[in-house]
Homo-oligomer: A and B are copies of this chain.
Amino acid sequence: MKAYLLQMLKELALLGAINNRVEISSLELANQLETSQQTASRYVLELDKLDLITREMGIKKQLIQITENGADILKEEYMQYKHIFELPQKIRFDGHLVSGMGEGTYYLAQKGYINQFHHHCGFKPFPGTLNVKIPQIEKNKLRLIKKFPGLEIEEFETTNRTFGAVKCFNATVNETECVLVLPARGHYSKILEFISPDNLRKKLDIKDGDPVHIIINIEKQIE
């Protein structure tokens, strides 16, 4: 997202456009942003196109309201600032247990991962990940987590293929300590994968669909 559009979105939020439609002309917006009416108008059109705001044409002025997508972007921004100025905090997710397709087992059978996990985390992971699906709305938290260094497990190659780098964060699932593993690059999945020396599914005594509460510690690194 372009930085200048974020600026405008924030301005609209300050004017109360998150929970209400706000009646504001492009000229008024231009004055707030110290730009021209034309540019403000263009920004509004761009935000609309990106589905970050909705517009209706009022009798004279336009009525603008920020969409959920738009509010999500601002929330993420807010969380970033919070992390800059507030004490390091934990990030919470509510999700529910799902079955992996066995990929976890496949990956955790790779020596390249096992050895690095053992070296950095001090345990040999149970062969298989605990998979938790998180709601779409939490995706901004995920993006935030990825901004933090965590503990990086380097990529490696076998004779067959390359295994990408992953990032690890200390976490708890239903108050039980374990380690979140995220791909270091690439896209966001709605499935979080956790590893542990134990069989987490048994230890937690949970089955598919059960709600789980996750806390990710983004500050303290493993070891």
Please report A residues at the B interface, Cβ cutoff 8 Å. 2-4, 6-7, 10, 13-14, 18, 74-75, 77-78, 80-85, 147
Q: Is the CB of B3 within 8 A of A7?
A: yes
Contact of A84 among B2, B74, B147 (CB under 8 A): B74
Chain B nearest CB from A88 CB (Å) reads: 11
Q: Is the CB of A14 within 8 A of B84?
A: yes
Q: Is the CB of A10 within 8 A of B80?
A: yes
With a cutoff of 8 Å between Cβ atoms, the chain B residues found around residue A2 in the complex are: 3
Known: A3-B3, A3-B4, A7-B3. A75 touches B80 (CB 8 A): no
Contact of A14 among B3, B74, B147 (CB under 8 A): B147
Q: Is the CB of B77 within 8 A of A81?
A: yes
Chain B nearest CB from A192 CB (Å) reads: 22
Chain B nearest CB from A209 CB (Å) reads: 32
Known: A3-B4, A3-B7, A7-B3. A75 touches B83 (CB 8 A): no
